[in-house]
Amino acid sequence: MNEINFMMERAIRTALEEDLGPGDVTTQAVLAHDQSGTAYLIAREGMILAGMHVFELTFREICRDITFQRACRDGESISSGQVVSTMHGSLEAILKGERTALNFLQRMSGIATLTHRYVEKVKGTRAEILDTRKTAPGLRWFDKYAVRTGGGRNHRFGLFDGVLIKDNHIASAGSIKRAVEAAGERVTHTLAVEVEVEDLAGVEEALMAGVDIILLDNMPLEALKKAVELVDGAAKVEASGGVSLKTVEDIAKTGVDFISVGELTHSAKAADFSLKIEPLSD
């Protein structure tokens, strides 16, 4: 948890430094330094909420005295017009952190919302929706947390926590068999070994090599069905490539165990929020 907190705080600081530079010249010119007030975080569309902790930490990186009253929690389905949180404290700090905090929250809630839509599409099948490593650089923890909040599961976090032998590894090793044998000699038994294949011949070779998971890359539906029958429970089966909200249900019905979707983190539409400061009375 300490490592996660460190990564999260580092990303927040980097984002604030990028936006603030040497200072917010507009806020410094317009506001009194000690002015305080109240602001409301409002959803402008329906969504699955994700990232409230990050939203709050962003402001507290600027001013520790800002207080928050959450009306909603991560993972909740919220409606357009709903007040998600009320915050009180330094208006200077609120204005300085507004855009950065919203950027995090909008991205994370957008990912959670899209993930939820995919998960709903495969209900009633055995398939689970997975993310990929196609995340925004420096924001992987945020992106993958948002996927979990939306009901999906995380694939490996990085190159260090799972063996995934892809086409270029196979080309470099000479064959699936050689690549799997080399991996078996060099990695701990606690790491699952997954191999990416593009056709049924690759499925057979991967089965012979004794892998834990077979990734079926960009295979048509009929080939996916035949691959699942061929594997017959000897390994987990993952489908990837060509996955969209239009195709995911049919892919799930082939009997695969997992469906990995790059769109969850590389193309999710940001959710729409606004932050409104309570007007100063005369």
Q: Assess whether 236 carries a catalytic annotation.
A: no
Q: Which residues are bridge partners to 259 per DSSP?
A: 129, 239
Sign of CA dihedral 125, 210, 242, 114: positive
What the block records as the tokens of 53 is 């902790």
Q: Is 79 left (phi over 0), alpha (psi -120 to 50) or beta?
A: beta
Side chain identity, residue 153: R
Choice among 9, 45, 70, 99 that is catalytic = 99
- Which residue intervals of 50-194 are DSSP H helices? 52-60, 91-121, 140-149, 167-173, 176-186
Choice among 61, 196, 205, 238 that is catalytic = 196
Choice among 70, 117, 133, 134 that is catalytic = 134
Q: Assess whether 177 carries a catalytic annotation.
A: no
For residues 228 and 235, what is the distance between their CA atoms, to the nearest angstrom? Answer: 9
Identify the DSSP state of 254. T
Choice among 24, 56, 217, 263 that is catalytic = 217
What the block records as the tokens of 184 is 């078996």
Q: Assess whether 166 carries a catalytic annotation.
A: yes
For residues 247 and 141, what is the distance between their CA atoms, to the nearest angstrom? Answer: 27
Concatenate the DSSP letters of all residues of 257-274 into one string.
SEEE-THHHHSPPPP-EE
C-alpha atoms less than 13 angstroms from C-alpha of 130 in its C-beta half-sphere: 20
Choice among 117, 166, 225, 236 that is catalytic = 166
Q: Is 212 left (phi over 0), alpha (psi -120 to 50) or beta?
A: alpha
Phi then psi dihedrals of residue 253, to 5 deg: -70, -10
- Catalytic residue list: 99, 134, 166, 196, 217
